[in-house]
Chain A
Amino acid sequence: MSTRIPLTLITGFLGSGKTTLLGHLLRDPLLSDAVVLVNELGEVPLDHHLLRQVDEKTVILDSGCICCTIRTDLVDELRDLQIRQHRGQIPAFRRVIVETTGLADPVPVLATLLQDPLLAAHYMADGVVTTVDAINAPLQARRQPEWVKQVVVADRIVLTKTDLAGVDQPLVERLVRDRNPVAELLIANHGAIPAAALIGLGVLAEDRRAEQVQAWLAAVEANPSDHDHTHDRDEHDHHAGVHAFALRFEEPLDWTMFGLWLAMLLQSHGENILRVKGLLDTGAKGPLVLHGVQHVIHPPTHLAAWPDDDHASRIVLIVRNIARTDVERSLRTFDRLAKPAQSTKSEILA
């Protein structure tokens, strides 16, 4: 079991109710030992003993890759918190909640946790919670790329303002489900959601990884969006072509070749590979668990045993404008290329 401190990211478009939600969450005893990092200190209607303000300072590296954007504010703040806790200058904390701005891309926060060695050793992403304003969702879904990104990376989606007149809730749920069939959808009653439904998700916890993949597979089966569209329906429609699908491979996959293939795929289509999760049969006793958000691939882990009797490799991808058949054909071709190589290993290593 990991002893790293779980970090929950609360994101959502402008006016979607992040701060109201946070205000309710902070009343829950579950968060009594949480550090809360917000952008606007005055907006949270509570005096929480570990409420701190951070300004979203980012450094974009020379490559210009958005996922290499380091949230330096978070690096500084989270490092400082560790040091001060160690020195006894602040109460011990067991959780961190980060609220982003309404226009923020949540992925750099996740990347920052992996890229900074000290943060990687002390913190672990617990889950991404995204608030969705039910009134404005139909427009934002079409016009705001930030909205789409925030919805796609979510592990829990909280629908807000569903009680207001004019809300077409089934439409909003469909808009969200089409783009993220794997996140659990919750309805907020004036911002109130039990903290336990959003905190402690443990999306990267080693003892829950297999369960998480199984939940994704079940969600994709329950919400098939497996249409092989590769075209943009509307140049202003930022969610065009976003869909989820599952791939299944009965034979073991060659992990070395899989890594090569995925690295290549992320290099050429990274912006359109939104999420990936999978249980891979690499020929070991248990499966290898894969988890990635855009270019951010978490170090894969081997499980001691399969979670069920199905030992086939199963991979779920959420992508934009990429056809399932293309991905499957490509991976099968690369994997086949590796298989004869195994039989002539001595020749290769010579």
Chain B
Amino acid sequence: MCSLCGTLGAAAHWSEGGGDRTQVGARRDLLRERHRRVALLNSVLRSYSLSVDEWEETAYILRGPSGQAILCNDLTGVFAEVARLRGGVALDPLDPTLLERL
């Protein structure tokens, strides 16, 4: 999976590989982690009038400021779409203004 454009979603995204999925309850943990990821994403995106919802345990729905709803496979897809909604300007985690907003 390319981490820039998020295409070819055949394999799980690397960011979802941090837990041990072989354990009993792994699916429950995965779901809990997905919901937590959404909450953390929203804590970053809200000051840009953007939000994300979990969708069927397989994708995320990115909602834009004018009501757009975009289905994204994974985090990489979310940030690619965020950049698209911002006219090609990616959210930069090194940007002091963004860090200030957090």
Residues of A within 8 A of B (CB): 61-63, 65, 67-68, 111, 114-115, 117, 120, 255-257, 259-270, 282, 288, 292, 295-302, 322, 326-327, 329-330, 333-334, 337-338, 341, 345, 348-349
Contacts and interface: CB of A to CB of B under 8 A. Distances in A.
Given A337-B102, A349-B32, A349-B36, A296 B93 contact: no
Interface of B: 1-5, 7-8, 10-12, 14-20, 32-33, 35-37, 39-41, 43-44, 75-76, 78-80, 82-83, 90-94, 99, 102
Contacts of A288: 18
B83 to A, nearest CB: 6
Nearest to B8: A115
B60 to A, nearest CB: 11
A311 B19 CA distance: 18
Nearest to B92: A268
Closest 8 pairs between A and B when the two form their complex, measured CB to CB: A259-B15, A63-B5, A268-B90, A348-B39, A267-B79, A263-B75, A295-B3, A268-B92
A268 B32 CA distance: 27
Contacts of B76: 263, 266-267
A330 B79 CA distance: 17
Contact of B36 (A65, A67, A256): A256
Given A260-B15, A260-B40, A300-B14, A268 B93 contact: yes
Contact of A259 (B37, B80, B94): B37
B1 to A, nearest CB: 7
28 contacts: A63-B4, A63-B80, A65-B4, A67-B4, A68-B8, A117-B10, A260-B41, A263-B76, A264-B91, A264-B93, A265-B93, A267-B4, A267-B83, A267-B90, A269-B94, A270-B3, A270-B4, A282-B18, A295-B3, A296-B2, A296-B3, A299-B17, A301-B17, A327-B94, A337-B44, A338-B40, A341-B40, A348-B35
Contacts of A301: 17
Given A267-B4, A297-B14, A299-B14, 16 more contacts: A61-B7, A67-B2, A262-B3, A263-B79, A267-B3, A267-B76, A269-B92, A299-B11, A302-B20, A330-B93, A333-B102, A337-B44, A341-B36, A348-B36, A349-B35, A349-B39
